[in-house]
Amino acid sequence: MRFKTIRKYYKLAVISCLWLNVSACNNDEQTNNGNKPDVAESIPNEQASNKPWKQVEQQNLIYLELDTGTVTILLADFFAPKHTKYIQDLVNEGFYDGLPLYRVIENFVVQGGDKSNQKASNVKRSIKAEFERDIHTQTPFSLVQQNDLFAEQTGFINGFAVGRSVTEGKEWLIHCPGAINLARGLHPNSGTTDFAIMFGTPPRHLDRNMSVFGRIIVGWEHFYQVKRGPKDAGGVFKDTNKASHIVKAYLGSSLDLEKQQSVFIENTATPAFKQRIEKRRKLDNDFYQYKGNGNMDVCYFPVKIKFK
């Protein structure tokens, strides 16, 4: 089955960190018995092989059926296991079905969820932030850039753009276009259910300040068609009936086997992938008269996706 697939106002970008769930600021997550352990992921052995593709597990695919078409999101369970499990539970509960994309700012963010804070849920709670983690030295990391403007290093792990501070021994997921994070209030652990998806200029100042738990891999054409919010209201729809809506959200694992779509992501730990990086860095094409200085923005480099 085939599924359909900030810079302009810095002030607005900062507000995005603070918009939601301020009332939950001191209601940190106490327990999360269903979470996967926060340890090194089991993927490195597969990533370290020379297999060019890695099949995505069905439970790590979220299909957001919008009124403009269906968008597919890949969850970063290896990096944000608590958020991944929590979002999976909310999706399986049907929490997001019918909710609006109530804050949309051109070239920055699409924010969706329960703007009224009235929808019932047996899953909803505040959740502890997963902004960053200790560098997993045993996990394959494909370097893109040394001394990036916002990080000592940038590169890829498991198909996701990652920033690193070797000095601090920390790494984090980067807010490239398509990245999705959990909206929060002032307190780091105040995120509950609403989410924000980046599009346009990468808002890198949000790195290490928001919990990124996935990214769009398919359906950009439908995502770009969502209705933009009024500029004089910071992109927020006062009347959410005028906003685009989530018709239904579901996991690939919830579908019958014959309806599941096999999704493969490029193995970003192979020599072939690293060669692609170097080729792009050198602008190895006769079109380019100026070959640049060898620097490259990690958000500019595409990771390939294929389907079977």
Average pLDDT over residues 8-32: 37
pLDDT of amino acid 31? 33
pLDDT of amino acid 308? 86
Q: Where does residue 170 rank: exposed (0-12), middle (13-18), buried (19+ CB within 10 A)?
A: middle
pLDDT above 60 (res 44): no
Per residue in 221-262, pLDDT (tens digit) is 999 999 999 999 999 999 999 999 999 999 999 999 999 999
Find the radius of gyration of the CA atoms of the chain.
19
Per residue in 75-102, pLDDT (tens digit) is 999 999 999 999 999 999 999 999 999 9
pLDDT of amino acid 133? 98
According to DSSP H, which parts of the chain are helical?
10-18, 44-48, 81-93, 220-223, 271-281
- List domains and CATH numbers for the chain: 10-30+42-115+123-253+262-307 (2.40.100.10)
Per-position DSSP letters for 139-160, written without gaps between them:
S--EEEEEEETTEEEEEEETTE
The partner residues of 54 in beta bridges, in order of sequence, read 265
Q: Are 43 and 136 in contact (CB under 8 A)?
A: no
Q: Are 153 and 164 in contact (CB under 8 A)?
A: yes
Q: Where does residue 2 rank: exposed (0-12), middle (13-18), buried (19+ CB within 10 A)?
A: exposed
Query: Strand, helix or coil at 272?
Result: helix
pLDDT of amino acid 171? 98
The partner residues of 73 in beta bridges, in order of sequence, read 62, 216
Q: Are 25 and 187 in contact (CB under 8 A)?
A: yes
Sign of CA dihedral 109, 41, 134, 142: negative
Cβ neighbour number for residue 305 with a 10 Å cutoff = 17
Q: How far is C-alpha 93 from the geometric centre of its chain's CA atoms? A: 21
Query: Strand, helix or coil at 300?
Result: helix
CA atoms of 266 and 229, how far apart (whole Å): 35
Average pLDDT over residues 186-207: 96
Give the residue from 189, 184, 198 showing the smallest Cα distance to 73: 198
Average pLDDT over residues 293-299: 96
Cβ-Cβ contacts under 8 Å for 117 (sequence gap 6 or more): none
Which of the two residues, 48 and 27, has the higher pLDDT score? 48
Mean pLDDT of the chain: 87
Q: Are 92 and 84 in contact (CB under 8 A)?
A: no
Per residue in 92-149, pLDDT (tens digit) is 999 999 999 999 999 999 999 999 999 999 999 999 999 999 999 999 999 999 999 9
Confidence of residue 52 (pLDDT cuts 50, 70, 90): very high
Please tell me the pTM assigned to this model. Answer: 0.85
CA atoms of 207 and 209, how far apart (whole Å): 5
Tokens describing residue 162: 């990652």
pLDDT of amino acid 30? 34
Tokens describing residue 199: 């599009």
pLDDT over 90 percentage in the chain: 82
Give the residue from 165, 166, 172, 162 showing the smallest Cα distance to 142: 162
pLDDT above 70 (res 21): no
Which of the two residues, 296 and 44, has the higher pLDDT score? 296
Per residue in 211-226, pLDDT (tens digit) is 999 999 999 999 999 9
Q: Which DSSP symbol is given to 232? A: G
